[in-house]
């Protein structure tokens, strides 16, 4: 890539998904600036998660294009998309439950390690150096998200909120340019939600662009730079949190009485 337009780190054009006769997502287009936090909201069944999964490659798009730093993602498999620098979390908590927190983190260095099998068989310098770097990075990121005390705990034994944090930590360990968060606050208590908001802010300060799907309106309104509203698979509004909370169409479709309170 000779030239990267920082205003279009992620370019989504005409993205659509049909499940048989049902148009789950219709012709969605938007851009993401570098270092922006964009929230995708909408009532249940609006097509948020479908959009999210098409970008992450876990659902095949019916048509449209998604480019990350100019590179087309549609048609790529999830593991290839990860290699393009796009990391994601899952709606239903996904960590390697049978492994320790630290082992979870080291696995996530996978795409950055270049040592071959021969390197590790011969215990080469490259292999040893990469292993050391992976361990150091694992520790650094665990400190960053506040899980350093838990490094040796089996991740299946972590509290739910900590598992959500570990999930974000795993995504960060892949050193992404962009992070997709699928309902990161789901199931968190208010206190945990506040620290999650701080964490997402910190992640952005590291130069990582964030796209999130979220139901928690407080979190969305507080941390997003821009909000995109979907309803019945179509984009009905786009704007800053203030603009969105004033938008009559959005209020009607989604926020309803909640905003008038």
Partner 1 sequence: MNMKKLPVFVLLAVAAVLPLFVKSEYFMHICVLAMMYIMLTQGLNLLTGYIGQLSLGHQTFLGLGGYASALLAIKLGVPVLLAMLLAGLFTVVCSFLIGLVTFRMRGSYFVIMTTAFAEIVRLVINNSTAVTNGPMGLREIPPPVIFGLIIKSKISSYYFGLVLAVITVFICYRIVDSRTGRAFVALREHEALANSVGISFARYSMVAAVVGGFFAGIAGGFYAHYTHFISTDVITFSYTVTILLMLIIGGKGTIMGPVLGAIIFSFVPEALRAVDNLRLPIYGLILMISVLAMPKGLMPVLSRAYGRIVYKLAPGQKTPAAKGE
Residues of the shown chain interacting with partner 1 in the complex, contacts defined by CB under 8 A: 56, 58, 77-80, 82-83, 87-88, 90, 94-99, 103, 106-111, 113, 115, 117, 119-121, 123, 127, 130-131, 170-171, 173-174
Task: Confirm if 260 and 252 have CB atoms less than 8 A apart.
Answer: no
The least distance separating partner 1 from the CB of residue 205, rounded to whole angstroms, comes to: 23
The least distance separating partner 1 from the CB of residue 98, rounded to whole angstroms, comes to: 5
The whole-angstrom separation of Cα 223 and Cα 154 is 31
Q: Which stretches of the chain are DSSP H helices?
A: 48-56, 78-83, 101-107, 117-121, 125-145, 160-173, 190-205, 217-223, 241-246, 248-250, 257-260
The least distance separating partner 1 from the CB of residue 220, rounded to whole angstroms, comes to: 23
The least distance separating partner 1 from the CB of residue 190, rounded to whole angstroms, comes to: 27
Task: Confirm if 78 and 57 have CB atoms less than 8 A apart.
Answer: yes
The whole-angstrom separation of Cα 94 and Cα 160 is 11
Task: Confirm if 229 and 254 have CB atoms less than 8 A apart.
Answer: yes
Smaller CB distance to partner 1: residue 170 or 255? Answer: 170
Smaller CB distance to partner 1: residue 98 or 187? Answer: 98
Smaller CB distance to partner 1: residue 122 or 246? Answer: 122
Smaller CB distance to partner 1: residue 166 or 244? Answer: 166
The least distance separating partner 1 from the CB of residue 246, rounded to whole angstroms, comes to: 36
The whole-angstrom separation of Cα 74 and Cα 183 is 22
Query: What contacts 73, CB < 8 A, 6 or more positions away?
Result: 55, 57, 66, 67, 81, 84, 86
Smaller CB distance to partner 1: residue 30 or 90? Answer: 90
The whole-angstrom separation of Cα 103 and Cα 249 is 47
The least distance separating partner 1 from the CB of residue 119, rounded to whole angstroms, comes to: 8
Query: What contacts 160, CB < 8 A, 6 or more positions away?
Result: 93, 187, 188
Smaller CB distance to partner 1: residue 174 or 247? Answer: 174
């Amino acid at each position: 890539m000779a030239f990267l337009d920082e205003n279009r780190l992620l370019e989504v054009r005409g993205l659509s998904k049909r499940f048989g006769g049902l148009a789950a997502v219709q012709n969605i287009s938007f851009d993401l600036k570098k270092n922006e936090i964009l929230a995708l909201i909408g009532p249940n069944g609006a097509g948020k998660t479908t959009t999210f999964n098409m970008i992450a490659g876990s659902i095949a798009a019916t048509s449209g294009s998604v480019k990350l730093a100019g590179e087309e993602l549609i048609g790529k498999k999830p593991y290839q998309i990860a290699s393009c620098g796009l990391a994601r979390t899952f709606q239903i908590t996904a960590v390697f439950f049978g492994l320790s927190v630290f082992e979870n983190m080291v696995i996530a260095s996978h795409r950055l390690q270049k040592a071959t099998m021969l390197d590790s068989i011969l215990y080469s310098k490259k292999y040893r150096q990469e292993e050391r770097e992976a361990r150091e990075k694992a520790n650094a990121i665990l400190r960053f998200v506040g899980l350093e005390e838990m490094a040796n705990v089996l991740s299946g034994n972590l509290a739910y909120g900590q598992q959500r944090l570990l999930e974000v930590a795993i995504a960060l360990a892949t050193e992404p340019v962009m992070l997709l968060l699928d309902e990161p606050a789901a199931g968190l208590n208010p206190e945990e939600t506040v620290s999650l908001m701080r964490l997402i802010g910190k992640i952005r300060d590291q130069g990582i662009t964030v796209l999130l799907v979220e139901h928690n309106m407080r979190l969305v309104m507080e941390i997003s730079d821009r909000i995109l509203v979907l309803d019945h698979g179509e984009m009905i509004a786009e704007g800053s949190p203030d603009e969105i909370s004033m938008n009559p169409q959005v209020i009607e479709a989604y926020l309803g009485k909640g905003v008038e309170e």
